[in-house]
C-alpha cells in the first residue's frame, strides 16, 4: 500500500483500458446480482457451465485457426451437419419415423468419430483452399459455410419423411450429453467433463508441442515462419482439419443435448465462437492468444446471456449489449495490434 | 484519450440499458406497491414463457395477448429463443432454476419436446405448450403437460372453402376458360405440421367442392414475405397470366406475392390476380379492405394467447386446468382455438382481435 502514491492517474486509466472487458463484466454481474440476488446459486453456476461446454469445444476449434491468422465462418454449418448426421445415425430403434428404418443400434463413439472425420474432411478442404490456393480465410470459409449448408440440406430433406426434424434419439445418446453424475453431493454434468478434457488436450497441443509453437509462429509472421523452415501448408491444413473435427464433436453433443436436429441447427454459432475468442484475448491479426482466454471468453458470453435472461432484460436489448461487448473487445484487440507493430 | 472517452461512453450506455431494461421487465423489484405482503407475492405466481422467435409476425401478437392477459395476475419471464432449440433448452433450465410455477413453451422444433418435458418433469413443473404441437407420444409421457393451439387441418379446409366460394362467385377469374384453377402455392416451412396440413387440405377442399385444379408451381417460402415475393417474381416471369390463383400458407408470403404482382402492374385497373393467405394479420386486413387480397383465415392470436395464460395461470396456482374458463380439452390434452374465414364481409371480427 506504500506504493499506492506512485500510481498516477494515468496508470489507473491504463489499467482500466487494458482490462476494460473485465471491468464491464464485473459491473454487469453486479448489476445482475443486485437486481436478483438469487442469481448466486450452485444450480445457476452448473447451468452456465454445462451450457458453455459445447461452445468451449467449438471455440477451441476456431481459436487455433484465429491464432494462425485465419478465421472460420463454416463453423456453424459444420456443427449443423454434425448434428444432423449423428442424429440420423443414432435414432432409437422404436422410433416410428427413423431416417434409416433398418439401421441397427450403433455405438455412440463410432458414430461421433465418423462425424468428426466427415467434418474434419471439410475443415481440411478449408485449409487447402487457404494454404494452397491462397484464398483469404474469410472468403474461403464463407464459401464453405454455404456449401456445407447445401450438403446438409440435401442429406436432411429427402424421402421418406422429407424435411422433418430428426428426433426420437437413442436414450443412451441423449443421456451421453444430458446426463450427469454425483460427486460429494454435487451434480456434475457429463458435458462439463468433455469440455474439460478437450480443453486440457488443446492446452497441451498449443503449449507443449511443435505444432503449437508453429501455429503461433505462422500467425505472428508468416514470412518469418516460412524462412525459418516451418512447413506452413502442412500446419495450416492440420489446424483447419482439427477445427473441423472439434466442430464435429461439438455438433454431435449439440444434437444429443437438444434432443433433435435440423439443417438449421448451429446456424450463426460461428459468430458466438469467434466473438468469444476475441473477447477472450485472441488477436484477429494472429499469433496472440491462450486456451484459458478462450474458455473465459465463452464463459463471459454465457454468464451474460444467462444472467440477462435471468433478470428478465428485454431480449432485443440483449442483442445490443452483446454487440457492444464485442465492439469493446475488438477496440482493445486493435490496441494490442498497434502495440505489436 | 479519445478512445478512452469512447469506451467510457459505451460503458455508460450499456449500464443505462441494463438498468432500464431490468427495471422494465421486473417491476416487482422496484415497485413498492407489489412488495407489500408475502401473500400478495404468493397470489402472483411466476410463469416462464418462451417464444420460438420474437420477431415472428404472428407470434408477436400472441406474445402481446399473453402479456395483456397476464397483466397483474402473473409475473412473466419472457424469453426469445431466436429460432434456436439449444437456446430454448437453456432458457428452460434457467427458468426452472428460477423456480417458476409453470412454463408456457412455444417450441422451436416440435421434435425437441421430449427434452423439455424431461427437464420439467424432474421438477414437477407443469408445462403448457402452445402454437407448436409436440407428438402424441411426448404429450402422453407427462401428466402435467397440455397444449394450446389450433387444429392444423381446419385452416386448410377453411382456406379451400374460401377459394372455392370466391372462384364460383367470379367466373371471370378463369382466364383461359378451361374450368380449372391453375394455381401456384407458397408453402411454409417443410415439415411444419401447419404447412403440410394447409397445403394438403386447402387443395383437397377445393376438389371436394367440385372444382378441378392444376398445380403450376409449389415451392416453400419458409413463411417469409421476401421469399414469397422472390418466388412470385420468378413464377410471373414464367407463367404470367397463366396463373389463376395464388394460394399461400400464410399472409406474410401472400403479401410478398402481392408485392411481386403490384410491380407487374396487377391490382390497377382491371388487371387482377386472386391471392389468399392464412393468419389475417393486420397488413392482410388492410389489403382485404382495399379489395386486393381476396381473403384470409384468422388464426386467432388473441385467443391463443388468452388460452395459454388461462391454463398456465391455473396450473401455477394449483387449480384445475380449465377452472373458470370456457375452453375444452380434446382427447390429445389440447385446447383447440377455432379458425375463422375472413373476407371483406366479416373483416370486423379480425379487426377486433387486434384492438385493445
* Contact assessment for residue B197 and residue B133, using Cβ atoms and an 8 Å cutoff: no
CA distance B303 to B322: 14
Do B138 and B210 lie in a common domain? no
Domain membership flag for residue A35: no
Interchain proximity A309–B14, CB inside 8 Å: no
| A301 occurs within a structural domain | no
Does residue A133 fall inside a structural domain?
yes
Residue A226 belongs to some domain of the structure: yes
Q: Is residue A6 part of a domain?
A: no
Report yes or no on B1 lying in a domain. Answer: no
**Which single residue is written with the C-alpha cell 507443449?**
A208
CB B247 within 8 A of CB B159: yes
The pLDDT assigned to B22 comes to 46
Classify strands B127-130 and B75-80 as parallel, antiparallel or unpaired: unpaired
Question: How does DSSP assign A163-195, residue by residue?
Answer: S--B--B-HHHHHHHH-EEEETTEEEEHHHHHH
The answer for B 76-95 residues in CB contact with A (under 8 A) is 77-80, 82-86, 89-91, 93-94
Residues B143 and B243 occupy one common structural domain? no
For B:182-221, CB contacts with A below 8 A are 189-191
Average confidence (pLDDT) over B302-328: 93
**Residue A4 contacts B, CB cutoff 8 Å:** no
Answering whether pTM is above 0.80, one says no
pLDDT at A250: 97
Beta strands in B97-232, from DSSP E residues, in sequence order: 102-105, 127-130, 145-149, 180-187, 212-220
Are the Cβ atoms of B7 and A262 closer than 8 angstroms? no
- Pair B202, B321 in one domain: no
Residue B14 touches partner A, C-beta closer than 8 Å: yes
Lowest mean per-residue pLDDT among A267-281, B20-34, B275-289, B293-307:
B20-34
Residue A147, in any domain of the structure: yes
Q: Is the pLDDT of residue B255 over 80?
A: yes
Pair B284, B177 in one domain: yes
Residues B141 and B230 in one domain: no
Question: What is the maximum alpha-carbon separation in chain B?
Answer: 78
Task: Examine residue B214 and state whether it is found in any structural domain, yes or no.
Answer: yes
Q: Are B54 and B79 in contact (CB under 8 A)?
A: no
- Among all chains, which residue has been given the C-alpha cell 421476401? B226
Residue B40, min C-alpha distance to chain A (Å): 19
Q: Does B13 touch chain A (CB under 8 A)?
A: yes
Query: Is B34 part of any domain?
Result: no
Say if residue B242 is in the same domain as residue B105.
no
Q: What is the pLDDT of residue B192?
A: 79
Q: How far is CA B80 from CA A266, A307, A317, B91, B301, in A?
A: 17, 14, 11, 9, 18
Q: What distance in Å separates residue B206's CA from the closest CA in chain A? A: 25
Query: Is residue B293 domain-shared with residue B305, that is, in the same domain?
Result: no
Segment B98-137, tens digit of pLDDT = 999 999 999 998 889 999 999 999 999 999 999 999 999 9
CA distances from A160 to A96, A164, A182, B191, B199 (A): 12, 10, 42, 12, 18
Asked if B111 reaches chain A (Cβ–Cβ under 8 Å), the answer is: yes
Select from A259, A262, A310 the Cβ nearest to the Cβ of B94.
Answer: A310
> What are the backbone angles phi and psi of residue A207, rounded to the nearest 5°?
-105, -20
Q: Kindly state the DSSP code that residue B295 receives in the 8-state scheme.
A: B
Q: Residue A164 has what pLDDT?
A: 75
- Per the domain annotation, does A176 fall within a domain? yes
In contact, B235 and B261? CB cutoff 8 Å: no
Asked if A41 is an interface residue toward chain B (Cβ–Cβ < 8 A), one would say: yes
Q: What is the pLDDT of residue A123?
A: 97
Specify whether B79 is located in the same domain as B198. Answer: no
A10 inside 8 A of chain B by CB: no
- Indicate the residue of A17, A258, A321 with minimum beta-carbon distance to B17: A321
A113 part of contact set with chain B, CB < 8 Å: no
- The domain spanning residue B127 has which CATH number? 3.40.50.2300
Question: What is the reported pLDDT for B42?
Answer: 56
B194-230 as b/e: b if 16+ CB within 10 A: bbbbbbebbbebbeeeebebeebbebbbbbbbebbbb
Contact B109 A258 (CB under 8 A): yes
- Predicted confidence at residue B29, as pLDDT, reads 41
Distance CA B338, CA B148 (A): 11
Most confident residue range from A192-201, B61-70, B315-324: A192-201
Q: Are residues B328 and B234 in the same domain?
A: no
Structure confidence at residue B6 as a pLDDT band (50, 70, 90): low
Nine-digit cell string for A94:
422404436
Nearest-angstrom CA–CA distance, A182 and A264: 34
Residue B223 zone, left/alpha/beta (φ > 0; ψ -120 to 50; rest): left
Which among A35, A264, A305 has CB closest to B29? A35
Residues of B in contact with A264 (CB under 8 A): 83
Domain co-membership, B290 together with B305:
no
Determine the Cα angle at B91 with ends B117 and B53, to 5°. Answer: 100
Write out chain A residues lying below 8 Å of B15, CB-based.
Answer: 27, 31
Other CB atoms within 10 Å distance of the CB of residue B72? 8
Question: Which residues in chain A have their CB less than 8 angstroms from residue B29's CB?
Answer: 35-36
Mean pLDDT of all residues belonging to chain B:
87
- B15 membership: H or E segment, kind and range: helix B2-25
Domain identity same for B87 and B209: no
B24–A20 C-beta distance less than 8 A? no
CA atoms of B356 and B350, how far apart (whole Å) = 12
Give the whole-angstrom CA distance, residue B325 versus residue B265: 49
Is A283 a member of any domain?
A: no
Chain B nearest-CA distance from A232, in A, is 36
Count of domains observed in chain A:
1
Tell me, yes or no, whether B263 lies in a domain.
yes
Averaged pLDDT, B49-58: 88
pLDDT single digits (tens) B326-345: 999 998 899 999 998 999 99
Residue B28 lies in a domain: no
- Find chain A residues with C-beta within 8 A of B92's C-beta: none
For chain A, percent helix, then strand, then coil, each to nearest 5?
A: 70, 5, 25
**Interface contact flag, A162 B89, Cβ < 8 Å:** no
Last residue of a domain, one of B277, B298, B319: B298
CA B39, CA B148: separation in Å to the nearest integer? 30
Which domain covers residue B202, as residue numbers?
A: 153-298
Q: In the A/B pair of chains, how many CB contacts fall below 8 A?
A: 134
| B114 and B191 belong to one structural domain | no
Is residue B7, in this structure, part of any structural domain at all?
no
Does A310 lie at the interface with B, CB-CB under 8 angstroms?
yes
For the cut 60, the answer to whether the pLDDT of residue B162 exceeds it is yes
Q: Which residues of chain A have pLDDT under 50?
A: 1
Q: Could you tell me the CA-to-CA distances from A44 to A40, A302, B25, B72, B80 in Å, in that order? A: 7, 11, 20, 28, 19
Which residues in chain A are contacts of B194 at CB distance < 8 A? none
The pLDDT of B262-287, averaged and rounded, is 90
Domains: count for chain B: 2
Name the residue with cell 375452453.
B327
Quote the minimal CA–CA distance from A130 to chain B in Å: 31
Q: Which of A169-178, A246-255, B171-180, B261-270 has the highest mean pLDDT?
A: A246-255
Please tell me what DSSP assigns to residue B242: G
In a domain, B350, yes or no: no
B25 within some domain: no
Range of the domain at A45: 40-266
The strand pair at A186-189 and A180-183 is best described as: antiparallel
pLDDT at A12: 77
Residue pair B119/A174 in contact (Cβ under 8 Å)? The answer is: no
Amino acid at each position: 500500500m506504500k506504493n499506492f502514491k506512485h500510481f498516477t492517474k494515468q496508470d489507473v486509466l491504463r489499467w482500466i483500458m487494458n482490462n476494460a472487458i473485465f471491468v464491464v463484466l464485473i459491473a454487469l454481474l453486479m448489476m445482475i446480482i443486485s437486481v436478483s440476488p438469487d442469481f448466486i446459486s450452485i444450480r445457476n453456476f452448473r447451468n452456465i457451465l454445462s451450457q458453455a461446454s459445447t461452445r468451449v469445444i467449438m471455440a477451441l476449434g476456431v481459436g487455433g485457426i484465429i491464432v494462425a491468422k485465419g478465421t472460420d465462418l463454416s463453423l456453424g454449418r459444420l456443427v449443423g451437419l454434425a448434428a444432423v448426421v449423428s442424429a440420423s445415425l443414432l435414432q432409437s430403434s422404436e422410433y416410428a419415423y427413423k431416417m434409416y428404418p433398418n439401421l441397427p443400434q450403433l455405438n455412440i463413439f463410432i458414430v461421433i468419430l465418423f462425424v468428426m472425420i466427415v467434418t474434419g474432411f471439410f475443415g481440411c478442404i478449408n485449409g487447402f483452399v487457404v494454404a494452397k490456393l491462397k484464398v483469404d480465410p474469410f472468403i474461403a470459409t464463407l464459401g464453405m459455410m454455404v456449401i456445407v449448408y447445401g450438403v446438409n440440406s440435401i442429406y436432411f430433406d429427402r424421402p421418406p419423411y422429407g424435411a422433418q426434424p430428426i428426433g426420437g434419439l437413442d436414450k443412451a445418446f441423449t443421456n451421453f450429453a444430458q446426463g450427469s453424475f454425483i460427486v460429494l453431493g454435487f451434480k456434475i454434468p457429463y458435458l462439463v467433463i468433455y469440455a474439460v478434457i478437450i480443453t486440457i488436450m488443446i492446452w497441451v497441443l498449443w503449449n507443449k508441442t511443435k505444432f503449437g509453437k508453429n501455429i503461433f509462429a505462422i500467425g505472428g509472421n508468416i514470412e518469418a515462419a516460412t524462412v525459418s523452415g516451418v512447413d506452413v501448408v502442412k500446419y495450416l491444413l492440420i489446424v483447419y482439419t482439427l477445427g473441423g473435427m472439434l466442430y464435429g464433436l461439438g455438433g454431435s453433443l449439440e444434437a444429443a443435448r437438444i434432443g433433435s436436429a435440423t439443417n438449421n441447427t448451429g446456424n450463426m454459432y460461428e459468430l458466438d465462437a469467434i466473438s468469444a475468442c476475441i473477447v477472450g484475448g485472441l488477436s484477429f491479426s494472429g499469433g496472440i492468444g491462450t486456451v484459458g482466454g478462450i474458455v473465459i471468453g465463452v464463459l463471459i458470453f454465457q454468464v451474460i446471456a444467462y444472467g440477462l435472461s435471468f433478470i428478465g432484460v428485454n431480449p432485443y436489448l440483449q442483442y445490443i449489449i452483446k454487440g457492444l461487448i464485442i465492439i469493446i473487445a475488438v477496440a482493445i484487440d486493435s490496441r494490442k495490434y498497434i502495440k505489436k507493430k | 484519450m479519445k478512445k478512452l472517452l469512447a469506451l467510457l461512453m459505451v460503458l455508460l450506455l450499456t449500464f443505462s440499458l441494463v438498468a432500464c431494461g431490468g427495471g422494465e421487465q421486473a417491476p416487482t423489484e422496484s415497485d413498492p406497491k407489489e412488495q407489500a405482503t408475502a401473500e400478495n407475492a404468493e397470489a402472483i405466481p411466476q410463469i416462464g414463457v418462451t417464444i420460438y422467435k420474437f420477431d415472428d409476425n404472428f407470434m408477436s401478437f400472441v406474445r402481446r395477448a399473453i402479456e395483456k392477459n397476464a397483466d397483474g395476475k402473473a409475473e412473466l419471464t419472457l424469453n426469445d429463443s431466436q429460432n434456436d432449440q439449444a437456446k430454448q433448452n437453456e432458457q428452460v433450465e434457467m427458468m426452472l432454476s428460477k423456480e417458476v410455477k409453470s412454463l408456457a413453451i412455444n417450441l422451436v422444433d416440435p421434435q425437441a419436446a421430449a427434452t423439455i418435458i424431461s427437464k420439467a418433469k424432474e421438477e414437477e413443473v407443469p408445462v403448457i405448450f402452445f402454437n407448436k404441437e409436440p407428438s402424441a407420444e411426448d404429450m402422453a409421457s407427462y401428466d402435467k403437460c397440455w397444449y394450446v393451439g389450433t387444429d392444423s387441418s381446419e385452416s386448410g379446409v377453411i382456406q379451400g372453402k374460401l377459394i372455392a366460394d370466391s372462384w364460383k362467385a367470379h367466373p371471370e377469374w378463369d382466364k383461359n376458360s378451361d374450368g380449372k384453377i391453375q394455381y401456384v402455392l407458397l408453402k411454409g416451412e417443410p415439415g411444419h405440421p401447419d404447412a403440410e396440413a394447409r397445403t394438403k387440405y386447402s387443395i383437397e377442399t377445393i376438389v371436394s367442392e367440385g372444382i378441378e385444379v392444376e398445380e403450376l408451381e409449389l415451392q416453400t417460402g419458409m413463411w417469409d414475405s421476401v421469399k414469397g415475393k422472390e418466388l412470385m417474381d420468378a413464377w410471373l416471369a414464367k407463367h404470367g397470366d397463366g396463373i389463376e390463383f395464388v394460394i399461400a400458407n400464410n399472409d406474410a408470403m401472400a403479401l410478398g406475392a402481392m408485392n411481386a404482382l403490384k410491380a407487374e402492374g396487377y391490382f390497377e385497373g382491371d388487371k387482377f390476380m386472386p391471392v389468399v393467405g392464412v393468419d389475417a394479420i393486420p397488413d392482410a386486413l388492410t389489403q382485404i379492405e382495399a379489395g386486393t387480397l381476396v381473403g384470409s383465415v384468422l388464426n386467432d392470436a388473441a385467443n391463443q394467447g388468452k388460452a395459454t395464460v388461462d391454463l398456465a395461470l391455473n396450473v401455477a396456482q394449483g387449480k384445475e386446468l380449465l377452472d373458470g374458463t370456457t375452453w375444452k380439452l380434446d382427447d390429445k390434452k389440447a385446447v383447440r382455438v377455432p379458425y375463422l374465414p375472413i373476407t371483406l364481409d366479416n373483416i370486423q371480427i379480425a379487426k377486433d382481435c387486434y384492438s385493445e
